Amino acid sequence: MRHLRIVYDGREYAGIPGRSADQIREDIAAAVSEGRSIWLPVVHGERRGVPTTLLVGPGTQIAVLDAVADDLAADVAAADTGTPLNE
């Protein structure tokens, strides 16, 4: 299962369901290129995630990551043997 992660101010958040990392990156890039800020909806917490928003604009340090937490060990093993990674 793919998990979208967002790192903002040293803290990790999850993306809201239904949004891809590329969509979020496009929203951020559009806002920054226009010199404006946006409120990015995210989920904070692991078990019972709490919906919240992050203020993102020019100069904001943020990372949007596609991570494969459930298949990480299989992907590492596949990379060592040259086998294609899971999608």
Q: Kindly report each contact of residues 42-47 with a partner whose C-beta sits within 8 Å and lies 24 or more positions away, as own/partner.
A: 42/6, 42/8, 42/13, 42/14, 42/15, 42/16, 43/13, 43/14, 43/15, 43/16, 44/11, 44/13, 44/14
| 87 DSSP 8-state letter | -
Question: Tens of pLDDT along 2-36?
Answer: 578 999 999 999 988 888 899 999 999 999 999 99
pLDDT tens per residue, range 47-86: 788 999 999 999 999 999 986 655 555 555 655 665 555 5
